[in-house]
Each structure stands twice: as structure tokens, then as C-alpha cells.
Amino acid sequence: MQFVIVTGMSGAGKSTLLNIFEDLGYYCVDNLPPKLINNLADFCLEGGSGIDKVALGIDIRGGKRFSDLFDGLDSLQARHLSYTIIFLESNDNKLLHRYKETRRNHPLSPSIIDGITEERQLLEPVKQKATYIIDTSLLLVRHLREKIIEVYCNSKEFDLIVYIQSFGFKFGLPQLSDLVFDVRFMPNPFYVHEFKTKTGLDEPVRAFVMESDVSKKFLQDLLNLLIFLIPQYVKEGKNQLIISVGCTGGKHRSVTVARELHDGLAAVGHSVVISHRDITA
């Protein structure tokens, strides 16, 4: 019998994650009162239930205190039933954006930002006990699905996820960056008439940026550095690395280098997610 506890910030994607587990054959229960975990285990263990994989959605709607959750998990452990806890995280700006999109109220406060702040404080004890913490701020659903399949279907070690984003310095530095690289020293396609309205997603622009020896050496040295650094971050328990690559406008050089980094790190087996913050600005 395998139990997965899905918890975390409201708006971080818990319902989406439960849907993924349901597709993988898990018996899913959302918003289960923590006091009923032991009862659910009894039900699943009954002869003929056919349930051997369970995913439970537990969040702030189940109460402001998580002592009942910890008691329920202790009872599973006492019965030699294994469980993992997945905590979904997201930054404040992304959570605010999602609430505005759905026009939903925060379960703790009429003020969304106050509710988010209070929820972070209340969820800290369960976050500290989480097996995996996944930041969904930059994560697409398909990337989340791929990671869950990798961990729960292939029994591989939970690897660090590398997020690479391009940006333009004139629009400000990205929040939550672990590493920031300035590529404004590279050849600038903006001053080439036929490239001015194109982006680093276009092959001629990519070729223009990467044809210089300086660009080639920088990219190779940067890849070597990251290939060295990532295992060191993993050893320290880090589960995500956010790399931001910036040029002036965020459309040409930074997009090109972000793509090259994505392909280079993916080629050596790392889980990589890419986004371009200012490409349409």
C-alpha cells in the first residue's frame, strides 16, 4: 500500500497534481479531513477493495492546524504503510495571477495577499516534513506530469529541476533567480535590419549570435560550470535551480543562450524547463 500526501499553497496546482495521480491509477481523495486518514487506510486494506495506491489532497481547507495530519501519518507508519509528502510551492506573483484568472477568493482572507502570507506561515510545519517540494511558478503541466511519472513510475531518484528563463534587463531582474548571467557582450541582432523584428527562436538569429568565437567559448564554459555545479546543489538537498539569462530587451541574445543551455543540459540527462519572460514585451 502506497500513500501520497499532496499538499501546499492554495493555487499552486494540487488539483492538477491529483488529476495526474488519478491518470496513473491512484485512488484519489481531495480535501480529506486529516482525522480520517486511518479510516481510509482501513477501507483500502479491506479484502477485495483492489486499492493499493492512494493520493490524498490535504490543504488549509482541512483546518489551520496540522497536528491531525501528523497524527494520521504516524498511524500509517505504525501500521508499516509507506507514504511520501509532496508540497507544492509557488511565488506570490504567480499565485496572485492565478487567483485573478480564476476569480476565486482565498480560503483564509478576503485579501488574497494577506491570505497567501498567513497560509505560508500555517503550512511551514508540513513543508518542513515534505519528501519533495516542487515550485510550480515556472512549471507547465506536462513538465509536472513528466516529473511525477519519473519518480513514481520509474522509481528514479528525485532529481533537481533546472529552470532556465531569458529576460531583458530593461524590464528588471527576474525574481527568485539562483544564478543570473548577462550576455549583453554578445553580437546584437537588434542592429541588423532583417533581424530586428525576429527573436532568438528564429534560426538565423541564433546562428548570428553563436557564430562569434566569444559566444561559443562563453557557452561552452558556462555549460561546463553548470554541469559541475548541479550535482553540488543536489548534494546540498536543493531540488530546483533557477537560471536567468539576460540581454537588453530579452528577445535575441538571451533567448538564444537560454535555448543553447536548455539543449546542452538536457543532452546530459538533466530535467530542464525553459521560458522567455520578455520575448513578447
pTM of this prediction? 0.60
Q: pLDDT by residue (tens digit) across 190-249?
A: 999 999 899 999 999 999 999 999 999 999 999 999 999 998 887 776 778 999 999 999
Q: Is the per-residue pLDDT at 155 higher than 50?
A: no
What pLDDT sits at residue 58?
86
| Cell numbers representing residue 27 in the block | 485512488
Instruction: Compute the distance between CA of residue 194 and CA of residue 130 in angstroms, rounded to an integer.
Output: 51
Is residue 252 within 8 A of residue 170, CB to CB? The reply is no
What pLDDT sits at residue 175?
81
DSSP, collapsed to helix, strand or coil, labels residue 8 as: strand
Q: pLDDT by residue (tens digit) across 127-149?
A: 888 999 898 888 888 888 888 88
Is residue 134 within 8 A of residue 87, CB to CB? The reply is yes
Instruction: Compute the distance between CA of residue 39 and CA of residue 47 in angstroms, rounded to an integer.
Output: 15
Q: pLDDT by residue (tens digit) across 35-80?
A: 888 889 988 888 667 788 899 998 876 555 667 888 888 888 888 8
Query: pLDDT averaged over the chain?
Result: 87
Instruction: Compute the distance between CA of residue 140 and CA of residue 127 in angstroms, rounded to an integer.
Output: 22
Q: Which position has the grid cell 535555448?
A: 259
DSSP, collapsed to helix, strand or coil, labels residue 19 as: helix
Give which of 100, 135, 170 is closest to 271, Cα–Cα: 135
Q: pLDDT by residue (tens digit) across 6-24?
A: 999 888 989 999 999 988 8
What pLDDT sits at residue 96?
87
Question: Within 10 A of 121 (CB to CB), how many other CB atoms are there?
Answer: 9
Instruction: Compute the distance between CA of residue 71 and CA of residue 122 in angstroms, rounded to an integer.
Output: 17
Supply angle C-alpha 21, 23, 29, rounded to 5: 50
